[in-house]
Structure 1
């Protein structure tokens, strides 16, 4: 198959579809090793495209990962250098400065139609979001022509859809009113879900009764897909960029009826199989629109898989959410941020290929810019590196040689250089749950749950006297079974210096 040289652009501008799954772990799809669930559409993308084995989210947490994706900037640099470390709260203002050149702005500058569907979770308005319309600034102030989706996350209120700057089904005479955490008995009713669907926060809003009625947890995946595919089919030949941020597979696990009970690992697996269906429907819409042959699809995830109730139930049935990787969502170990990443582009990417190039989601900004022939200034590039040569070819040398990854806790911000990963503290800096009644398990407790060994851990606890920090050789030991901190003091010092340079803004 003849491939385009890196940097070459076809005469007709290619369309770009970015499918950004939520909490999808490294081991959650067939082509990355899953056996207890079926993902034929995602696997087909890999069979006809390229699968990356060393791809990462810039953060192990949803909101900062999305910040990095859209801005091309490490999330620890956000907010005037204070960083973004956790999920955006319900009343969060817009977290991206509207003067920032985003991925969507890059496409707009070349005449593209742009849209975002699904989970936003980057805030709305300025100062504090009071949820009164218009919900602006928001996605349309960051380069997107159109937005439809879940404004925060599917486990947090308000349980309504937002379209552009308005609440779908909103009524000026019955507005959303935030009551806070003590809203029991006063909040507008929401869709009942079973206990096995896992945790969902109670509604904190009264009002907007009709808007709440239009939001059904079990219809979110299919609704977003209907909207996204209809948008694709209405482009009429104009080049487009679609950012589809699915709510699958974030808890609560509420797949549509047609997917319930279809996997071998409970609601978690069923919800993942609905995600696979979503990927298939997007491809069908590209075919229907007659643009599939001129479209680049990127499929990846915002962070690693999570061991909540549904995740633990899936693990008990033999499903390996993060494969054999150590750790999980929110944490700095590989299971928290090493994610599936598949690139599909007929005639440009050779099918069935695999790349071990180190790649970070902030790199999509520069990569997409090169795909469409848009030059980026150094200020616009920020931390982004074009990975197009790795998509369309097989470079002999690494395109990216180092990167910073952030977990939930700033104390565990870590640096990778070549094969070495340095973590300046014990454990993973993520969730701390370890008991059946606790929602979010993390750290050492997860290693016992899923059987991932680590030299600093015994019986689900950090050993007394373990090293104060961690160093791993990911070429020899991608599953991080052996902490080499004591054996390599010189490397530790080099990595510590490098990390400090990033923290001090020297890099």
Structure 2
């Protein structure tokens, strides 16, 4: 760390303009978290049917990780792990929280935002929250929505309270629904106000609040959130800041702004990626405007892998592989569900154009940012991976990683080259019909043409092993389950997974 501080000091003494930071150990931090962005969705990760010049530039100026993971292949538990440094299975979180749901984060425990706020950072979250509000099973959306993001350490919040595919289809700012008319409150039940998603998917529906709904224009989400985030950045140029930019892109429904429609070769799915790339570019241009790029750590990643919904199927037919060569999709314990893009950019500290194959996880951000800023904050399952960002460690920083899919029985353990899954299948969606929103698991392989030794004609074979083991160094595509060839390794990892679940933490 001493070397890093010397480098930062030298940087701040140069005539760059902008903020003259009083504490050189505290760079600005921007965390850009995409929604459902797959391992193969960016140019710098091999995509050819979509163009992502701004993100590719971020990678070429920093470090691209090839073995980075979300702690879950599902949105809410993944975001919980990222903010708290705790495995979501400890909270019994396996699926997305929908309305009505109280806040799933314990506000008495540290989060990435609260640790940085305690270190003197201004903190803000713009975009998708999806971690619940209030402390009761049925929060009242017509009063203060607290506890929420502000009680988790953010000074300011503006964004989508749940997910862009489900009610209530309103903006929330800090503790209140934006534009709410007391004479027309939000109500549970009735016909949901939505522009572009099938009514059958909107359970439980919420209705009322027509004035608030009128402000929620789906095709303007990208510009609205980008303008809000960059405006906030301009107001923080004289103090260290932490921006958590959790975009609704590229979650379904795919509603890019007018100038991005038809802009890609991968349908609506690709168009939404290209709008996301523009949003990243605007954030970086704002840093340049404020002359703060060299004193800002930017991390870009995704909450889980790409999803083979209708838009994903459309992109696949066009020749775009959402998760590259990886098997599976969002919700799965297969690699496509949780191996995600991860780019770290910090000029003068992170070598430009570098690539790392270190095993890391978003759950590690709490320990990593604590180490970066000198905080003593720790998380139950968070590992400091700062050395993998700014240097080249000669040994793995993580020896194990637990990954949670949608189904509890498919909880997985990564150890070095090995991935163990405690059940058959992917552990996610199992739709079988092309065009089905829930196409996934064994049934999806019929559509994608991917190969797995346990599956034939879209179904698990009768003689398939009861658990799965893969050597990812030899078989990253997970084409062959070798649990029967290596029963000792499978048995050992099954016991290790059980031990991790018994304890309250996995790190010292």
TM-score by length of 2: 0.93
The equivalent residue for 2:145 is 135
Q: 1:375 to 1:267 in 2, by over 3 A?
A: same
- Matched residues in 2 for 1:117 and 1:481: separation? 39
Q: How much has 1:341 moved relative to structure 2?
A: 0.3
Residue among 38, 46, 52 paired with 1:33: 46
Q: 1:158 to 1:49 in 2, by over 3 A?
A: same
The equivalent residue for 1:455 is 453
Q: How much has 1:291 moved relative to structure 2?
A: 1.1
Matches within 5 A, 1:102-121: 102-121=111-130
For the Cα contact (< 8 Å) 1:61–1:329, is it kept in 2?
A: yes
Matches within 5 A, 1:110-259: 110-128=119-137, 129-179=139-189, 183-184=190-191, 187=192, 189-191=193-195, 193=196, 201=202, 204-259=205-260
Residue among 461, 472, 478 paired with 2:476: 478
SS of the counterpart of 2:126? strand
May I ask how many residue pairs the two structures share in their alignment? 489
- Matched residues in 1 for 2:173 and 2:488: separation? 54
Q: How much has 1:7 moved relative to structure 2?
A: 11
For the Cα contact (< 8 Å) 1:45–1:342, is it kept in 2?
A: yes
Q: How much has 1:4 moved relative to structure 2?
A: 4.7
- Matched residues in 2 for 1:214 and 1:399: separation? 46
For the Cα contact (< 8 Å) 2:434–2:447, is it kept in 1?
A: no
Q: How much has 1:373 moved relative to structure 2?
A: 1.7
- Matched residues in 1 for 2:166 and 2:5: separation? 42
Q: How much has 1:206 moved relative to structure 2?
A: 2.5
Residues 432-457 of structure 1, C-alpha deviations (whole Å, 9 max, x = no match): 11113521111112223222211111
SS of the counterpart of 2:498? helix
Q: Which runs of 5+ in 2 are unaligned?
A: 10-22
Residue among 60, 76, 79 paired with 1:47: 60
- Matched residues in 2 for 1:418 and 1:468: separation? 22
For the Cα contact (< 8 Å) 1:296–1:344, is it kept in 2?
A: yes
SS of the counterpart of 1:381? coil
- Matched residues in 2 for 1:282 and 1:149: separation? 17
Q: 1:474 to 1:437 in 2, by over 3 A?
A: closer
- Matched residues in 2 for 1:419 and 1:43: separation? 28
Q: How much has 1:289 moved relative to structure 2?
A: 1.7
For the Cα contact (< 8 Å) 1:7–1:371, is it kept in 2?
A: no
- Matched residues in 1 for 2:404 and 2:163: separation? 20
For the Cα contact (< 8 Å) 2:313–2:435, is it kept in 1?
A: no
- Matched residues in 2 for 1:4 and 1:307: separation? 45
The equivalent residue for 1:323 is 324
Structure 1: which 4+ aligned runs deviate by more than 6 Å?
A: 6-9
The equivalent residue for 1:63 is 76
Cα RMSD, aligned residues only: 1.8
Q: How much has 1:287 moved relative to structure 2?
A: 1.1
SS of the counterpart of 1:64? helix
For the Cα contact (< 8 Å) 1:190–1:203, is it kept in 2?
A: no
Residue among 17, 32, 39 paired with 2:30: 17
The equivalent residue for 1:407 is 405
SS of the counterpart of 2:473? coil
SS of the counterpart of 1:342? strand
SS of the counterpart of 1:396? coil
For the Cα contact (< 8 Å) 1:94–1:138, is it kept in 2?
A: yes
For the Cα contact (< 8 Å) 1:218–1:256, is it kept in 2?
A: yes
- Matched residues in 2 for 1:427 and 1:6: separation? 48
- Matched residues in 1 for 2:8 and 2:397: separation? 20
- Matched residues in 1 for 2:287 and 2:256: separation? 24
Matched, 1:350 2:351: yes
The equivalent residue for 2:503 is 505
Matches within 5 A, 1:259-278: 259-278=260-279
Matched, 1:76 2:86: no
For the Cα contact (< 8 Å) 1:447–1:453, is it kept in 2?
A: yes
For the Cα contact (< 8 Å) 1:228–1:244, is it kept in 2?
A: yes
Q: 1:367 to 1:47 in 2, by over 3 A?
A: same
The equivalent residue for 2:17 is none
For the Cα contact (< 8 Å) 1:363–1:384, is it kept in 2?
A: yes
